[in-house]
């Protein structure tokens, strides 16, 4: 079946970059695009009217941690200074002997209510991404059960995903004084890699090819050299993309320098891992970052020469008073910048806006981090990170992953008059402006409605689950704090029920 979408504005693709086409049409047959440009005379079976709308390639979110992220709500405007703004240390490090309550990433099959929790988290994640126009996402190393649940929801709801259980040689706990302590287990890391490879062996190509595998040694400082080397070997053998958190935290940077006498990026370089299909999350604390005071910095040059990818998660890091320093230098060095959500909301439009505005500030020029550049990062940058030239673009032969964005802001005044549709989306849009999502040639969302997903029900379930996360913080927090102590209300809470 051949479908034509007639758009007031179309993001087409020519000469290796996006191009704007006024009154454009995109035509797809089965799951592939056959035409994207001005007019189409051939026969079509149906036509979708996208007047007043922008038709664009679906977004690629290169940094997703599954779940409703209830715990992330506990660090807004607060946190422990000793973590230098690193979110996961704030919310994922339990008191030794305890587990993080309410986060399915730490639950096991057989625990009470665990199946429902896995289900809720997977549905919430995939539905939220889809609602915001994300047609492909990379899950950043959650455990096996989380991947299984995501696989089922990706299959059911129709998105594309890079999945596989992540692995590491250790984790962080809080000692009896609440100090960070690393528990190390190298054998566990290698076993984790085996599990990931088995999962990929079985599931790569599932859901009609929409699910693909990715190797995720979770963090560079919690991975042994052997684990990273074996990861690379497996990636080469099986042609798999890789992802790992590296150069993402002040503590991690110092730990790696202390242990290996080189920076996280130098370590990845020496192992031969730097490449476009290595997704480095977040890559903002590199030796070139003046805040680190590291002499003879060359991380940026190493990353740039290898065209390595970073998953830049603008909202997540800017909330922790950090950012990418600087967009312009990364781009000029040759780094492939992709965009990830990491935290809530999984809104690529908001992430593009934050990337653009912060990029201008840190580059000290409003010529930097343009709307076109952040839009390319959110589409083409993500495609490069997973080694695909058939995603992130609307061009003949590419897969039909298409979104339709309502330039009326869903009948509000938010956009005002629209001259340049991409600049308008980046400056005035929100993820909810995405009206229709097509993945692999199938309509997965129309008019903001995802068949089989009840947003109200999902919100209620997430709220109930989140209340439990907040109510049980004192049971595992290394300092034994309640949610109120860890994260004071925005204004004093009036007494009484
Ligand atoms: Zn992450």
Sign of CA dihedral 158, 51, 419, 25: positive
Ligand 1 mean position, distance from CA 340 (Å) = 9
Token pair 């990830």 is at which residue? 340
What is the 338 CA–ligand 1 centroid distance (Å)?
Answer: 14
Query: What per-residue confidence (pLDDT) applies to 107?
Result: 72
pLDDT for residue 247 is more than 80:
yes
> pLDDT averaged over the chain?
96
Q: What is the CA(299)–ligand 1 centre distance, in A? A: 20
Question: What average pLDDT does the segment 42-47 reach?
Answer: 97
Q: How many CB atoms lie within 10 A of CB 476?
A: 20
Q: How many angstroms separate the CA atoms of 399 and 392, rounded?
A: 9
> What domains, with CATH codes, occur in the chain?
2-57+394-445 (2.30.40.10), 59-385 (3.20.20.140)
What are the tens digits of pLDDT across the range 185-202?
999 999 999 999 999 999
Write down the pLDDT at residue 431: 98
pLDDT at residue 263 is higher than 80: yes
Instruction: Tell me the C-alpha distance between 36 and 397, whole Å.
Output: 10
Strands 32-38 and 160-163: what pairing?
A: unpaired
Range name among 158-162, 169-173, 457-461 with the lowest pLDDT average: 169-173
Distance, CA 474 to ligand 1 centroid (Å)? 24
- The residue whose two tokens read 């989380």 is 146
Instruction: Show Cβ contacts of residue 308 under 8 Å, excluding neighbours closer than 6 positions.
Output: 268, 274, 275, 276, 278, 280, 283, 302, 335, 336
* pLDDT band at 108; cut points 50, 70, 90: confident
* Local confidence band at 173 (pLDDT 50, 70, 90 cut-offs): very high
pLDDT of residue 361: 97
**Tokens describing residue 132:** 């915001």
Cα 171 to ligand 1 centroid, rounded to whole Å: 14
Residue 478, pLDDT > 80, answer: yes
SS3 19: strand
Q: What share of the chain is helix, strand, coil (3-state, %, to 5)?
A: 40, 25, 40
pLDDT at position 112 over 80: no
- Phi/psi at 232 (nearest 5 deg)? -60, -45
69: left (phi over 0), alpha (psi -120 to 50) or beta: left
pLDDT of residue 106: 72
- CA of 51 relative to ligand 1 center, distance in Å: 38
Query: Which string of DSSP letters, residue by residue, matches 453-492?
Result: --HHHHHHHHHHHHHHHHHTHHHH-TT---HHHHS--SSP
Query: pLDDT band at 433, cuts 50/70/90?
Result: very high
Q: In the chain, what percentage of residues exceed pLDDT 90? A: 95
Ligand 1 centre from 316 Cα, in Å? 9
Confidence at residue 105, expressed as pLDDT on a 0 to 100 scale: 65
Between residues 105 and 420, which one has the greater pLDDT?
Answer: 420
449/437 Cα distance (integer angstroms): 10
The half-sphere exposure of 344 on its side-chain side, counting CA atoms within 13 A, is 14
Place of tokens 């896995």: 118
- pLDDT above 70 for 104: no
- What local confidence, expressed as pLDDT, does residue 328 receive? 98
């Amino acid at each position: 079946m051949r479908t034509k979408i007639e758009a007031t504005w179309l993001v087409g693709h020519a000469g290796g970059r996006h191009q704007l086409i006024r009154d454009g049409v995109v035509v797809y047959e089965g799951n592939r695009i056959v035409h994207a440009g001005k007019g189409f005379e051939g026969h079509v079976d149906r036509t979708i009217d996208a007047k007043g709308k922008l038709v664009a390639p679906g977004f690629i979110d290169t940094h997703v941690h599954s779940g409703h992220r209830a715990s992330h709500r506990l660090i807004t405007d607060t946190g422990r200074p000793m973590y230098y703004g690193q979110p996961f240390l704030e919310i994922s490090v339990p008191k030794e002997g305890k587990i993080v309550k309410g986060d399915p990433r730490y639950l096991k099959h057989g625990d009470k209510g665990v199946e429902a929790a896995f289900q809720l988290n997977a549905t919430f994640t995939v539905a939220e991404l889809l609602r915001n126009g994300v047609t492909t996402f990379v899950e950043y190393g959650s455990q096996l059960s989380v991947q299984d649940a995501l696989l089922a929801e990706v299959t059911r709801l129709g998105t594309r995903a890079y999945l596989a259980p992540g692995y590491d040689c250790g984790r962080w706990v809080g000692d009896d004084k609440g100090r960070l302590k690393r528990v190390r287990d190298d054998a566990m890391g290698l076993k984790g890699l085996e599990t990931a490879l088995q999962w990929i062996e079985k599931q790569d190509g599932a859901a009609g090819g929409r699910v693909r595998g990715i190797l995720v040694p979770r963090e560079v400082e919690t991975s042994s050299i052997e684990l990273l080397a074996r990861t690379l070997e497996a990636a080469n053998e099986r042609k798999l993309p890789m992802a790992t958190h590296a150069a993402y935290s002040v503590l991690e940077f110092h730990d790696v320098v202390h242990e290996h006498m080189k920076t996280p990026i130098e370590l990845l370089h020496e192992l031969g891992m730097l490449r476009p299909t290595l997704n480095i999350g977040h890559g903002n604390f590199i030796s070139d970052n003046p805040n680190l005071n590291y002499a003879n910095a060359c991380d940026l040059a190493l990353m740039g020469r290898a065209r390595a990818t970073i998953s830049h998660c603008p909202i997540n890091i800017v909330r922790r008073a950090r950012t990418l320093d600087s967009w312009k230098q990364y781009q000029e060095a040759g780094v492939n910048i992709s965009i990830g959500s990491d935290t809530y909301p999984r809104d690529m439009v908001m992430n593009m806006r934050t990337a653009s505005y912060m990029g201008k500030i840190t580059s000290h020029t409003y010529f930097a981090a343009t709307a076109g550049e952040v839009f390319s990062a959110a589409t083409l940058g993500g495609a490069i990170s997973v080694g695909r030239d058939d995603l992130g673009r609307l061009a003949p032969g590419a897969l039909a992953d298409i979104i339709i964005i309502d330039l009326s802001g869903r009948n509000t005044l938010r956009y005002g008059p629209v001259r340049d549709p991409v600049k308008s989306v980046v400056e005035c849009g929100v993820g909810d402006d995405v009206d229709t999502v097509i993945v692999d040639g199938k309509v997965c969302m129309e008019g903001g409605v995802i068949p089989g997903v009840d947003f109200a029900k999902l919100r209620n379930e997430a709220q109930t689950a989140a209340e439990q996360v907040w109510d049980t913080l004192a049971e595992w927090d290394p300092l034994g704090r309640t949610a109120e102590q860890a994260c004071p209300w925005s204004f004093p809470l009036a007494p009484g029920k």
